[in-house]
Structure 1
Amino acid sequence: MQSSPGKPHQQRTNMSTLQNKALSLGIDVAVLRCVLILLGIVTFGTWGFWVTETDWTLWRSLYFTLITITTVGYGDQGLSETGQKFAAIMLLGGIGGFTYSITNLVQLTVNRDQAQARKLLRKTMDWESHVIVCGYGRMGQSICEQLRSGGKDCVVIEDDQEYYELAMENGFPAVHGCASEDESLVAAGIKRANSVITAVTNDAENMYAVVSARDLNPECSIISRAESASAARKMERAGATFVVLPHMMAGESVASAVLHPRLTSAMQSSNNPDDRLTLGEAVVEEGSELLEKTVMEYGKQAGDLVFVAVEREDGQLFMRPRGDQTFEVGDVVICAGRQEDVQAIREVAGGAVAV
């Protein structure tokens, strides 16, 4: 009997989940052990000094225990001979136990953060056609949030420790390293990614990242950031699919707000994001409800959706498609409308969003 193709993959996933749980459980048990050792040392010391020094209160016994195991050393506080013997025992055993517990608690805290990072990154091993975002600065953060809201998985590559930790806190799997290094791209799953976005503020690093990504995955789409037109031309020659110049796009947006205020208001109004005019695209897949339907037939049930263009799989582009034009497998449907209408046609088309 032939085994199912997905079975080994499922077994690997289950094994990975068990390893994550075992690691988390191991850390929790170790933390509990350290806390119990500390409590035991403090309790034993407090009780011992309270018994040996009959005129001491519990608070004074606790205080002297703490200054003994932390080696602060505020004097012997007038210990009796029996108390001195007990203090010697605390110095020999208590300080060692205290140091061991504190050191391990610090190490376990670091390990917990590293384990969480590995756990987030490990789940990307099952991803296909995800997006790699190089750089988690202001632009990178905005890109990641937009991708997540659009249902697209993404992995961050960030060299700066602060931004790397921020990406992890925001729930994005991240690789701590330089985006221009092959090792970082491989760790982010470049072989399985369908898009790479280089959003670092340094043109040279973006250039190296484009070259490395194109070499490791010749089929993926690469969108790069550039600070100058000359850098943009070089990145295109290096293999970038599309190059974005942030200052130029910002200038165009500001000019558009002056020249076309009503259009800008409709596209960027913040009063109700769901009512904004949104441009979107969807890929018609095999088995989609759109197949063999005409633009007019779907348009009757699509609310206020407007069909801007349809691009065939062979590259033929139909601007303002006719009402009697039918949808075919591989069509990229470009449309405009409210967010819910654009999302609806994506789902009907098969749930695939062209990137």
Structure 2
Amino acid sequence: MDKWTRRTVKYMAGLFAVILVYAAVYDYGMTAFDGRPRTFLEALQVVVETFTTTGFGSDAQWESWQMQALIIVMDLTGVFLIFLALPTLVFPLFEEALSTAAPTSVDRVGHVVIAGYTPRGRALIRELDARDIPYVVVEPDRDRAADIYETDTTVVHGDPESVEVYGDRVNLGDARALVADVDDATNASIALTATQVCDTPVITFVEEPSQKEYHSLAGASEAFSPRQLVGESLATKVTSGVTSDLDDAIEIGDGFDVVELPVESGSELDGVSVAESGIRERTGANIVGAWFRGEFVSPPSPDAVVDEQTILLVAGQEEQLEGLKRLTRSEQRRRRRGHVVVAGLGIVGTTVERAIEDSDLGLPQVTVDRDPAKDADVTGDVTDAHVLREAGVGAAGTVILSLPNDTVTVFATLVVRELNPEIEIVARAESQESVRKLYRAGADYVLSLGTVSGRMLASTILDEEVITFDQQVELIRTGPGDLTGRTLGEADVRRKTGCTVVAVERDGALVSDLGPDFRLQRGDELVVAGTDDDIVTFSALVGDE
């Protein structure tokens, strides 16, 4: 029973009770004070006539003051009840009639059911739309479901823990998968409910990694914990910056790796163009692409200037990449490297703290959180300059912003950059839309939780072989599809999709020296790099395998 129905039932019950009481009082008053006895039914008729303002009939002109006073009170009560009904019942009824209501059922086949509407769910919807895969969101709140519906998102209003919803309203039995993205307890309940209905795969998200086991027991096919992965990845960016090792390199095969290398202020590459850097000639590594203030370009223009806010995506043999890493590092920053400030001790922040402790590099840490219960070294608002000074941001080498609110993270980035222009800022973003904003605010490296989650889902639901989840650029393995028999020059992948074919696996061997005349054959496995959106475009270009 919805809110309006409950309100109507209560109002009508109260109205009938008031009418019956007045009818009894009127019946008694006509006998006791006016000397004109009436039956209870006649008394009830007079009360109804009074409340509805349709007249009093033959009973008008009462003789006693008591009855006259009663009629006055009845008149006022009737008017009050009418005015009470307008905002309570009538106006909401008109609003509901004029508003756009979300449907309560849909007819879909081969679709993805999404319980919960979050940034990672929206990222998945974008991927599904690009591949023309149908979906439906299940939202329990009527008003929020209507708001979602008005954004042209397929949504049904219903309880995501209801057997009826999955059995009758969203046709879960014919769906590709169910994604549960509410909270840990609700997601487990959704998995239990869904497995009652059918054997469609259920994918759940887990905030607390320790809860994964219970989601599996509830029937989840996969239980993802992206926050933990993001925390480990952010910690790796810090520890790899201290050593010359390529800890965060992605191994493609045969000693051939792909890695993201941030350019440090004061390094040999800072302030020179791509052409002037001579990276290929000096190291042998290939530049696949580069992030310039949050915008990925592949390949970068020879005239593009590399600076401290550039992140190079490069491929090559391990010794080649190690040589390039030395060019991206600043001797000045290494000499003055201080402690690490970890701001925000949620799942991501505590994972970062633990990973740095386990790295055996002896990096000192100072933790900051506004919640006294988190037992941080400094308690306070990370956007407060006094709190950041207390944490030693002015002398720190790196600050990791692992905050749950992107707006707060952007503001904190501005404050940190103002306090220490030379500090390395590594930030976690909740949604992909905030990444570029954080780079503009001064962050050196940003990883989006929504991006990581979206790749996890794509690898499971869409059978996409994602090589890595926790990099800014997505790397996948895929067959040549519709590009079979064409050369890379003829395929023109970079211009058409923005992606780069990094390497090709053929007959068990990895081919990394690819020219425009390299012809793709059936059975090849292409290693492709690009942004998430570009990978979607590339998938459409090659077609279904």
Q: TM-score w.r.t. structure 1 length?
A: 0.50
Equivalence for 1:231 = 211
Of the three residues 198, 210, 222, the one matched with 2:180 is: 198
Partner of 1:131: 112
Per the TM alignment, residue 342 of structure 1 is displaced from its structure 2 partner at its CA by 2.9
Pick the structure with more strand per residue: 2
Report what 1:293 is aligned to: 485
Write the deviation string for residues 277-323 of structure 1: whole angstroms up to 9, x where unpaired.
642658779xx523x53786876655574457999xxxx99977997
For 1:333 and 1:223, locate their aligned partners in 2 and report how far apart those are by CA, in whole Å: 28
Which of 262, 272, 276 is the matching residue for 2:295? Answer: 272
For residue 183 of structure 1, what is the amino acid of its counterpart?
E
- Residues of 1 paired with 2:233 and 2:118: CA distance? 21
The structure with more helix, counted as a fraction of residues: 1
RMSD over aligned Cα atoms: 4.8
Aligned to 1:242: 222
CA distance in 2, matches of 1:146, 1:344: 10
Question: Secondary structure at the residue paired with 1:117?
Answer: coil
What is residue 32 of structure 1 aligned with on the other side?
none
Give the superposition deviation at 1:110. 0.5
1:337 aligns with 2:534: no
In structure 2, the partner of 1:327 is 522
Determine the C-alpha separation between the residues in 2 that align with 1:349 and 1:195. 24
- Secondary structure of the 1:224 match is strand
Q: Write the letter of the residue equivalent to 2:171.
A: G
User: Could you tell me whether the CA contact under 8 Å between 1:256 and 1:264 is conserved in 2?
Assistant: no
Match of 1:136, SS state, is coil
Aligned-partner Cα distance in 2 for 1:308–1:185: 43
Q: Deviations over 1:126-153 (max 9, x none)?
A: x433222111245545544565566554
Displacement of 1:224 in angstroms is 1.0
Alpha-carbon distance between aligned partners in 2 of 1:335 and 1:270, rounded to the nearest angstrom: 22
User: Residue 130 of structure 1 contacts residue 152 of structure 1 at CA under 8 Å; is this kept in 2?
Assistant: yes
Max Rg structure: 2
Match for 1:255: what amino acid?
Answer: A
Q: Tell me: CA distance 1:278–1:164, structure 2 relative to 1, closer, same or farther (3 Å).
A: same
Structure-2 separation of matches of 1:221 and 1:146: 19
Contact 2:290–2:296 (Cα < 8 Å) also in 1? no
| Aligned mate of 1:109, from 74, 77, 95 | 95
| Secondary structure, counterpart of 2:174 in structure 1 | coil
Query: How far apart are residue 324 of structure 1 and its match?
Result: 7.0
Residue by residue over 1:161-193, the C-alpha shift from the partner in whole angstroms, topping out at 9 and shown as x without a partner, is 454344224332223333222222232231232
Partner residue of 1:11? none
Distance 1:300 1:318, change over 3 A: farther
1:225 Cα offset (Å) = 0.7
Letter in 2 for 1:254: L
Paired letter, 2:99:
D
Between the two proteins, the alignment pairs up a number of residues equal to 243
The residue identity in structure 2 corresponding to 1:234 is Y
- Quick one: distance in 1 between partners of 2:198 and 2:526? 26
Q: How does 1:65-144 map to 2 (within 5 A)?
A: 106-113=92-99, 116-118=101-103, 124-125=106-107, 127-137=108-118, 139-144=120-125
CA distance in 1, matches of 2:224, 2:215: 10
Percent identity, aligned pairs only, is 19
TM-score, normalised to structure 2, is 0.35
Q: Structure 1 residue 208 and structure 2 residue 189: aligned? A: yes
In structure 2, which of residues 193, 202, 215 is the aligned counterpart of residue 222 of structure 1? 202
User: How far apart are residue 198 of structure 1 and its match?
Assistant: 0.9
Contact 1:274–1:340 (CA<8 Å) still a contact in 2?
Answer: no
SS at match of 1:236: helix
The residue type paired with residue 215 of structure 2 is M
Cross-structure match for 1:61: none
Cα contact 2:127–2:536 (8 A) shared by 1 = no
Mapped to 1, the partners of 2:508 and 2:143 lie a distance apart of 45
What is the one-letter code of the residue matched to 1:248? Q
1:175 pairs with 139, 156, 167, which one?
156
Give the whole-Å Cα distance in 1 for the aligned partners of 2:537 and 2:135.
22
The aligned residue for residue 188 of structure 1 is 170
- Residues 179 and 334 (structure 1), Cα distance of their counterparts in 2 relative to 1, 3 Å cut: farther
**Change in 2 beyond 3 A, CA 1:217/1:264:** farther
Instruction: In structure 2, give the amino acid aligned to 1:130.
Output: H
Residue identity opposite 1:347 in structure 2? A
**Residues 140 and 158, structure 2, Cα contact 8 Å, conserved in 1:** yes
What residue number does 2:260 align with? 263
1:349 aligns with 2:542: yes
More moved, 302-311 vs 139-148? 302-311
CA distance in 2, matches of 1:302, 1:274: 10
- What SS does structure 2 have at the residue aligned with 1:263? strand
